[in-house]
């Protein structure tokens, strides 16, 4: 099962650290994939959920490619990613979104299968989640799945 850190978080939400390059690297160092928020503006790359916060370059992204699941935050980001070989998705409020690698980002857990990644699991959900019939989970508390 894929264990995915939400924005670099491992043991709870820390908004002041989320999406920062060092925080993402810490999650990767701890053995997790990381869902990040990417914005491309005027040919420059930024990490940040609500606005462009941390400028990065293509080399930073490329060096971590196998560990990243990129949430395109706007049309320019989605357009750029659609021409790349990064793993990415876009969603706003949809119950399901297709990820570029063919998996499904699955907010509605009334229906799911072994191609689904279930995001935003709470501390209690991630501790108690025992199902093996999904592809992965994404949480701010992902470290609790390794304990």
**Across the strands, what pairs with 116?**
104
14-40 per-position pLDDT tens digit: 999 999 999 999 999 999 999 999 999
CA neighbours within 13 Å on the CB side: how many for 73? 17
The length of the chain in residues reads 147
* pTM for the predicted model, two decimal places: 0.95
The torsion angles phi and psi of 21, rounded to 5 degrees, stand at -55, -45
pLDDT, average across residues 34-57: 96
DSSP β-ladder status, 33-41 and 2-6:
parallel
* Residue-range domain boundaries for the chain: 2-145
């Amino acid at each position: 099962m894929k264990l995915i850190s939400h924005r670099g978080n491992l043991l709870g939400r820390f908004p002041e650290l989320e999406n920062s390059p060092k925080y993402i690297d810490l999650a990767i160092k701890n053995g997790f994939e990381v869902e990040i928020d990417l914005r491309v503006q005027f040919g420059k790359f930024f990490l940040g959920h609500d606005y462009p916060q941390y400028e990065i370059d293509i080399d930073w992204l490329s060096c971590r490619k196998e560990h990243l699941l990129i949430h395109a935050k706007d049309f320019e980001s989605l357009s750029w990613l659609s021409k790349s070989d990064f793993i990415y998705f876009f969603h706003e409020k949809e119950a399901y979104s297709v990820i570029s690698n063919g998996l499904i980002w699955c907010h509605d857990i009334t229906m799911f299968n072994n191609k689904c990644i279930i995001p935003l699991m709470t501390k209690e959900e991630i501790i108690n989640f025992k199902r093996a019939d999904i592809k992965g989970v994404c949480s701010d508390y992902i470290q609790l799945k390794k304990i």
